[in-house]
Amino acid sequence: MNSEINPYKVFAGSKGEALAQRICNHLGCQLGKIRVDRFADGEFAVSFEESVRGQSVYLVQSTCPNSDNLMELLLMIDAAKRASAYKVIAVVPYFGWARQDRKDKPRVSIGAKLVANMLQTAGADRVITMDLHADQIQGFFDIPVDHLYGANVLADYVSSLNLKNMIVASPDVGGSKRAAAFCKKVSSIAGIEVPMVICYKHRAEFNKVDEMRVLGDVKDKDVVIVDDMADTAGTLCKAADVMKENGARSVRALVAHGIMSGKACENIMNSQLEELVFTDSIPFDLQRCPKVHVVSVADPIAETIMAIQAHRSVSELNIV
């Protein structure tokens, strides 16, 4: 390692091992050894198999799809602090519970704030995350948060397809800012102005879209739908159907996080989508869905780690 860079080690939780290994390949370091012992009742214990004393420790783990992964990350943070690590940085490519970011009705929890509190209480000194459901979640933390964007690697991929009449679509009004930023990124790569349309949707309950309309012209266009996540993929599939009904030539979707729960794979295979592209923030078996293509965010995360270690600006690496 560069002598000007402070010593650090990278470790991975159960849901972060593949991505962490790619990050280490970029950094030119070995993935640290960690052990998780599980008891018959479901309880588990985390221990580091090598010294972390006086070092910056990067812990790679997405907090999905269940609470075990969050608990594992919390135990990793606690173990690192108790082992006299200099700094503990939680690398959380997908920050779960982020959709619970406000009180939108009486007597509900704000899950994103609760998780932020838990990470800080466990001892995290910094958080690296990507494509939060809402940017303001960064304000839930009282420690530095480096917010990365998957749009950079996704834009490189879609630009390589050389689509003739590309148009970017937001699946809802709330995602228009994200889609506009993606338009700007793709336009700068392609050297041409890429237009944008917006879908209006009405949702009666979670994971179910009742009505959707397109605000804009997509006739004979190659539509690229941009969103932050694909959970059951219901919104994306509905948007693709509406685009086709309005004369789109092709429809594909690009999202930062492929949660792919429930019947997501079946929904994608039966939809008008030509492909669904997302990052490796969450592990996914490509055999589950032939229409899925995964791009890696290991390089931008590794560059962020190097910038932090060298005390350089991180924001210049992640401009969308």
Q: Please confirm whether the linkage preceding 65 is cis (ω < 30° from 0).
A: yes
Q: How many C-beta atoms surround the C-beta of residue 178 within 10 A?
A: 20
Q: Which residues contact 181 (CB under 8 A, 6 or more apart)?
A: 149, 151, 320
Q: Which residues contact 104 (CB under 8 A, 6 or more apart)?
A: none
Report the relative pairing of strands 196-205 and 208-215 from DSSP bridges: antiparallel
Distance CA 215, CA 199 (A): 6
Give 311's Cβ-side CA count (13 Å radius).
4
For residue 266, how far is the Cα from the chain centroid? Answer: 22
Q: Does residue 201 carry a catalytic annotation? A: yes
| Contact between 258 and 276 (Cβ < 8 Å) | yes
Cβ-defined contacts of 276-280 (< 8 Å, 24+)? 276/230, 276/233, 276/236, 276/252, 277/154, 277/157, 277/158, 277/252, 277/253, 278/150, 278/230, 278/254, 279/93, 279/130, 279/150, 279/153, 279/154, 280/18, 280/19, 280/22, 280/93
Catalytic residue among 9, 185, 201, 238: 201
Q: Which positions are catalytic?
A: 201
